[in-house]
Amino acid sequence: MPLPSPFLVLATENPIDQEGTYPLPEAQVDRFMFKVLIGYPSFEEERKILDKMAFTVPEMKVQPVIGLEEIVRTRKLVDRVHVDDKVRDYIVHIVFATRQPEKYKLDLKHLIQFGASPRATIYLTVAAKAWALLQGRAYVTPEDIKGIGPDVLRHRIILSYEAEAQAVTTDDIIKKIFNTIPVP
């Protein structure tokens, strides 16, 4: 169902209980920009949850933190964040290393069934631009790519059965790639 801009879809995945749910096909998962891993809350956070939600009908007051016009303005600013050609090449090398690890002297081919799609290249760039803007910069650095990269890539690399048998995660593979690809 189409949503008017700038609205978007958030989805949650609970890896503990899959009863009554079905995993999305890889092509659909690839359409999500990020896969952010969120662990359990801290003691203090959980106490706040308890204090707010332990009622038969919790009081849900939602206060906007930003207006629609400001979201649109900020998106235009993200589009203007500069990405140097060397940084663009760095992004493409990272994505290509998920598809052709042997060309980058990475012994990962047996662990990766499918590498990241072209959406990874696009989303890695856009996410790094937004991250740079949040850091108060009008340009992207390789550190921005490394900082936001796992959230953009972790659901786009499909592991082989061998990787799963060895308990290798996509984050392990991403870390190896980031540690191998030369930073411009």
Question: For residue 113, which phi and psi values (nearest 5 degrees)?
Answer: -80, -45
On the question of pLDDT at 161 being above 90, the answer is: yes
Q: State the pLDDT at residue 21.
A: 67
Nearest in space to 128 (alpha carbons), one of 165, 95, 106: 95
- pLDDT digit string (tens) for 18-41? 666 677 778 888 888 888 888 899
pLDDT at 8 over 80: no
How does pLDDT run across 51-97, given as a tens digit for each residue? 999 988 888 888 889 888 898 899 999 999 999 999 999 999 999 99
What is the sign, positive or negative, of the torsion defined by CA atoms of 126, 131, 133, 137? negative
Read off φ and ψ for residue 16, nearest 5 degrees: -85, -40
Are 167 and 158 within 8 A, CB to CB?
no
Which ranges in 33-117 belong to alpha helices (H)? Answer: 43-53, 68-80, 85-99
Count helices and strands in the chain by DSSP H and E runs: 8, 2
For residues 48 and 60, what is the distance between their CA atoms, to the nearest angstrom? Answer: 14
Write the DSSP symbol of residue 33.
S
CA-CA distance, 23 to 117, in Å (whole number)? Answer: 19
The predicted model scores a pTM of 0.85
Q: Residue 148: pLDDT band by 50, 70, 90 thresholds? A: very high
Q: At 14, list the tokens.
A: 């609970």
